[in-house]
Amino acid sequence: MKKKAKKALAAPTLLKPFDKENGTVQVVVETPRGSRNKFAYDPEVGAFKLKKVLPEGMTFPHDFGFVPSTKGEDGDPVDVLLLMDEPAYPGCLVECRIVGVVEGEQKEDGEKFRNDRFVGVSVESHTHSNIRDITDLNPDFLQELENFFEQYHKFDGSKYKCVGQKGAKAANRLLKTQIVKHAA
* pLDDT tens digits for range 31-80: 999 999 999 999 888 899 999 999 999 999 999 999 999 999 989 999 99
- What is residue 7's predicted lDDT score, i.e. its pLDDT? 57
The pairing of beta strand 93-108 with beta strand 79-83: unpaired
CA 172 – CA 166 distance, rounded (Å): 10
Domains of the chain in start order, with CATH, are: 12-174 (3.90.80.10)
| Residue 184: pLDDT band with limits 50, 70, 90 | very low
Percent of the chain clearing pLDDT 70 (strictly above) = 93
| Residue 97: pLDDT band with limits 50, 70, 90 | very high
| Residue 134: pLDDT band with limits 50, 70, 90 | very high
Mean pLDDT over residues 19-26, rounded? 88
CA 4 – CA 144 distance, rounded (Å): 46
